[in-house]
C-alpha cells in the first residue's frame, strides 16, 4: 500500500471503524497543546529517507544516536542534581549517592552562590543553603569534594553568571588534591542566554557575559580539554512554561549564538564545538519528548556542518543531559511523582540521552530526602538493568508517529529560527522580549487548559483526595546553616593574606577592562582566597549589572 492508497484507506477507516464509537474525551493533544491524530501510517512519513534523515547511530545526521554503540557500550550517566546546606552536609550526600550507584556528580548551589553573592551579603539573608549548597570560597569547594578525587569522577555544576569562578574553585580544588587540569572532566552550565530568557539568574549584561564565556571556551580548549564549557539548556525554558517546539528551537538558537560568538572571538569552531553540550527537559508527554531529542540531534548536526563548516565529527554531535520535568510534579499525592518521573526518564533514555537526573517525589515541596533520592536513582537502575531498553539502539525509529513528530518538531524549530533571525538574532530577540513573551503565553495557555478541564493533572483536578494531608517526611534546612556559613566566610577573610588578595584583584580588573583572558586571573584570585562575592564585585564594577524589563 503506497502513501496515497494509505490516505484513501485511512479516510475510509476513520468513517467506518474509528467512528463506530464516539470519542470519549478530548481534546487529544500533547502537553504542548499540539493536536494528535488517532492514527499515523505510511502517508505521514512518505518523504522520510532512511539514508539522509535517519542514517545509523554514530553517523551523520545522528538522528538515531551520537555513538555507534550507544547504551550497549555503556549506560547513560546517572547524575543526580544535589546540594543543600553546607559543603560538609552535601559532601555526605554525594558519598551516599556514589555508594548507591550514581556514576557522576552534579552540584546544586544555593541562591546566593547562584547570584554571585557571599553568604554574609545583606541580600543573602534567609537564603543561605536553602535551595542548594553554599559555596563562598575554594575552601568550601574543597570541603564539598573531600574524599572524592576529582581526576576520577566527572562533575556538572549548575552555575551560570559566576560559572568562570565556580569552575576556578573546582580546578584549584583538584589542583590541591594533586590532580592535573588535563585530567579533570565535567561541565559548567555557563549558559547565560537562557538566564535572560528563563532562569533569570544573571549578573552582568549580555555582551560582557558572552566575553566571559568565550574566555572560558578558549582557556578550557587548551588547559582543561575534558571540560564541557557550556551546557546549552532547554530545561529551564520548558520549566518556565514553553512548549516542546519552543524548548527545542530556543535552546538550539542559543547554541548557534554561542558558536557564532566563539567564531567571532577568533576561536576555530573545531577547537571549541566538541566541548559544547546540551541540557533538555523530559516532560510528561512521552512521545513528544522522544521525538524532540531525535530532532535536536539532526538539526544540530546539519547546522554545525552546513552553517559553521565544522570538520571534526565531534563538533557535530549534540551530547545532552536530561532532567525529568519538575513542573510536571504535584504537591498532592506526591508518591505519584515517582511514576511521572519514571515515564519521563524512560522517554529520555528512548531519546538517547547521555546522562540523566530523575527528580525525587518530594521536590515540589523541598530538597530531596535520602529516601526519596534513593528511589529516584533506583528508577534509573531499573530502567537500565531490567526493562531491556539498552538492548537495541533507538528502538522507536520507524514508528510512523515518532518519525512524524520528529519531522514536525524539526519543522517548527526551523520556523522559530527564521523568526529569531528576523528579530535580529538572539540578543536582539531577548532585548525585545521575544522569548519571554512566548514562554509566558504558553504557560498561561497551559494553566487555562487545566482550569477549563481540558487538561488533567491527576491528584489535583482529577482523582484528588478530599482533605488530603501531607504525610511524607521533608528535608528542612536549619537556620544554623546560615550562621555557620557566615562565620566561615568571615574567618576566611580574616586569615588570608590581604596583600595577595589586592594583587590578584587588581590583575583581574586589568584584564576585565582589556581583552586578556580572565581565567588565569580568576584562578589567582581563587588561590588567594578571594570569595565569590569579592571576585564578582570586581567584575560588576567593570561590566555593570543587568536589569530586566518585566513583562507578563
Q: Which of 11, 331, 339, 487 binds another protein (CB under 8 A)?
A: 331
Please give the distance of CA 227 from its chain centroid, rounded to a whole number.
16
Ranges of H-type helices in 265-369: 269-272, 286-302, 336-350
> Which of 200, 302 has the CB closer to another protein?
200
Span interacting with another protein, options 116-124, 163-171, 305-313, 409-417, rule CB under 8 A: 116-124
472 binds another protein (CB under 8 A): no
Sequence-distant (6+) residues with CB within 8 A of 65 are 57, 58, 297, 352, 393, 394
Whether the bond into 27 is cis, omega within 30 of 0? yes
d(CA 226, CA 466): 53
d(CA 234, CA 231): 9
Q: Are the CB atoms for 127 and 114 separated by under 8 Å?
A: no
d(CA 293, CA 347): 9
d(CA 11, CA 30): 23
Closest approach of Cβ 122 to another protein, in Å? Answer: 9
Residues 383-442 that bind another protein (CB under 8 A): 440
> Which of 180, 450 has the CB closer to another protein?
450
d(CA 144, CA 91): 5
d(CA 113, CA 120): 11
- Residue whose entry in the numeric block shows the C-alpha cell 555507534: 68
d(CA 423, CA 429): 6
d(CA 347, CA 345): 5
Closest approach of Cβ 268 to another protein, in Å? Answer: 35
Quick one: which H or E segment has residue 487? helix 480-495
Residues 350-369 that bind another protein (CB under 8 A): 364-366
126 binds another protein (CB under 8 A): yes
117 binds another protein (CB under 8 A): yes
Closest approach of Cβ 477 to another protein, in Å? Answer: 7
Q: Which of 477, 489, 519, 525 binds another protein (CB under 8 A)?
A: 477
- Site map (CB under 8 A) of another protein, residues 255-274, x = contact: --------------------
Beta bridge partners of 185: 154
> Which of 101, 544 has the CB closer to another protein?
544
Closest approach of Cβ 439 to another protein, in Å? Answer: 8
Residues 523-552 that bind another protein (CB under 8 A): 548, 550-552
199 binds another protein (CB under 8 A): yes
- How many beta carbons lie within 10 A of that of residue 22, not counting itself? 5
> Which of 60, 546 has the CB closer to another protein?
546
Closest approach of Cβ 113 to another protein, in Å? Answer: 10
> Which of 222, 480 has the CB closer to another protein?
480
Residues 227-246 that bind another protein (CB under 8 A): 239-241
458 binds another protein (CB under 8 A): no
Closest approach of Cβ 118 to another protein, in Å? Answer: 13
Closest CA to 85 of 323, 360, 367, 491: 367
Whether the bond into 138 is cis, omega within 30 of 0? no
The number of residues making up the chain comes to 552
Residue 33 vs residues 28, 36, 43, 201, 213: alpha-carbon distances, Å: 9, 9, 23, 28, 35
> Which of 14, 450 has the CB closer to another protein?
450
C-alpha cell belonging to residue 315: 563538533
Q: How many residues bind another protein (CB under 8 A)?
A: 42
234: left (phi > 0), else alpha (psi -120 to 50), else beta? alpha
Closest approach of Cβ 86 to another protein, in Å? Answer: 15
Closest approach of Cβ 438 to another protein, in Å? Answer: 12
Closest approach of Cβ 360 to another protein, in Å? Answer: 14
Closest CA to 55 of 393, 303, 360: 393
Closest approach of Cβ 190 to another protein, in Å? Answer: 17
Q: Which of 90, 91, 102, 124 binds another protein (CB under 8 A)?
A: 124
Span interacting with another protein, options 72-80, 106-114, 175-183, 414-422, rule CB under 8 A: 106-114
118 binds another protein (CB under 8 A): no
Q: Which of 265, 327, 427, 500 binds another protein (CB under 8 A)?
A: 327
| Chain contacts with another protein (rule: CB under 8 A) | 111-112, 114-115, 117, 123-127, 130-131, 195, 199-201, 239-241, 327, 330-332, 364-366, 440, 443-444, 447, 450-451, 457, 460-461, 470, 474, 477, 548, 550-552
Amino acid at each position: 500500500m503506497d502513501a496515497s492508497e494509505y490516505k484513501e484507506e485511512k479516510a475510509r477507516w476513520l468513517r467506518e471503524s474509528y467512528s463506530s464509537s464516539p470519542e470519549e474525551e478530548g481534546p487529544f493533544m500533547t502537553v504542548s497543546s499540539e493536536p494528535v491524530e488517532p492514527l499515523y501510517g505510511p502517508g505521514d512519513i512518505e518523504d522520510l529517507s532512511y539514508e539522509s534523515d535517519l542514517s545509523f547511530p554514530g553517523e551523520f545526521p545522528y538522528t538515531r544516536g551520537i555513538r555507534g554503540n550507544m547504551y550497549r557500550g555503556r549506560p547513560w550517566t546517572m547524575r543526580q542534581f544535589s546540594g543543600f546546606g553546607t559543603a560538609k552536609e552535601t559532601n555526605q550526600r554525594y558519598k551516599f549517592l556514589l555508594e548507591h550507584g550514581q556514576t557522576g556528580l552534579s552540584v546544586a548551589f544555593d541562591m546566593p552562590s547562584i547570584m554571585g553573592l557571599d553568604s554574609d551579603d545583606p541580600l543573602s539573608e534567609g537564603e543561605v543553603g536553602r535551595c542548594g549548597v553554599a559555596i563562598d570560597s575554594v575552601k568550601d569547594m574543597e570541603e564539598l569534594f573531600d574524599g572524592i578525587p576529582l581526576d576520577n569522577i566527572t562533575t556538572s555544576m549548575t552555575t551560570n553568571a559566576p560559572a568562570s569562578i565556580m569552575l576556578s574553585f573546582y580546578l584549584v580544588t583538584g589542583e590541591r588534591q594533586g590532580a592535573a587540569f588535563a585530567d579533570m572532566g565535567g561541565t559548567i552550565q555557563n549558559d547565560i542566554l537562557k538566564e535572560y530568557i528563563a532562569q533569570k539568574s544573571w549578573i552582568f549584561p549580555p555582551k560582557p557575559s558572552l566575553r566571559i564565556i568565550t574566555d572560558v571556551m578558549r582557556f578550557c580548549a587548551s588547559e582543561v580539554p575534558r571540560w564541557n564549557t557550556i551546557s546549552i539548556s532547554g530545561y529551564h525554558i520548558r520549566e518556565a512554561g514553553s512548549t516542546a517546539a519552543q524548548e527545542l528551537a530556543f535552546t538550539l538558537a542559543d547554541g548557534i549564538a554561542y558558536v557564532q560568538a566563539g567564531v567571532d572571538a577568533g576561536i576555530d569552531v573545531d577547537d571549541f564545538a566538541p566541548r559544547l553540550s546540551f541540557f533538555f527537559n523530559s516532560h510528561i508527554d512521552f512521545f513528544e519528548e522522544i521525538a524532540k531529542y531525535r530532532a535536536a540531534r539532526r538539526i544540530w548536526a546539519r547546522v554545525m556542518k552546513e552553517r559553521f563548516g565544522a570538520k571534526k565529527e565531534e563538533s557535530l554531535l549534540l551530547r545532552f543531559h536530561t532532567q525529568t520535568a519538575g513542573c510536571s510534579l504535584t504537591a498532592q499525592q506526591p508518591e505519584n511523582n515517582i511514576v511521572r518521573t519514571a515515564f519521563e526518564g524512560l522517554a529520555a533514555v528512548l531519546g538517547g540521552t547521555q546522562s540523566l537526573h530523575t527528580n525525587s517525589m518530594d521536590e515540589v515541596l523541598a530538597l530531596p530526602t535520602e529516601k526519596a533520592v534513593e528511589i529516584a536513582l533506583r528508577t534509573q537502575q531499573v530502567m537500565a538493568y531490567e526493562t531491556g531498553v539498552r538492548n537495541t539502539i533507538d528502538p522507536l525509529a520507524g514508528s510512523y508517529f515518532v518519525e512524524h513528530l520528529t519531522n514536525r518538531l524539526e519543522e517548527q524549530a526551523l520556523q522559530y529560527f527564521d523568526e529569531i533571525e528576523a528579530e535580529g538574532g538572539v540578543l536582539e530577540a531577548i532585548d525585545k522580549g521575544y522569548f519571554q513573551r512566548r514562554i509566558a503565553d504558553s504557560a498561561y495557555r497551559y494553566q487555562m487548559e487545566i482550569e477549563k478541564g481540558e487538561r488533567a493533572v491527576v491528584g489535583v483536578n482529577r482523582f484528588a483526595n478530599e482533605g488530603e494531608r501531607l504525610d511524607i517526611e521533608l528535608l528542612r534546612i536549619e537556620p544554623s546553616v546560615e550562621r555557620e556559613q557566615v562565620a566561615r566566610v568571615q574567618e576566611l577573610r580574616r586569615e588570608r593574606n590581604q596583600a595577595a588578595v589586592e594583587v590578584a584583584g587588581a590583575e583581574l580588573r586589568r584584564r576585565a577592562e582589556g581583552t586578556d583572558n580572565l581565567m588565569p586571573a580568576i584562578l589567582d584570585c581563587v588561590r588567594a582566597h578571594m570569595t565569590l562575592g569579592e571576585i564578582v564585585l570586581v567584575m560588576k564594577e567593570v561590566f555593570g549589572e543587568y536589569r530586566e524589563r518585566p513583562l507578563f
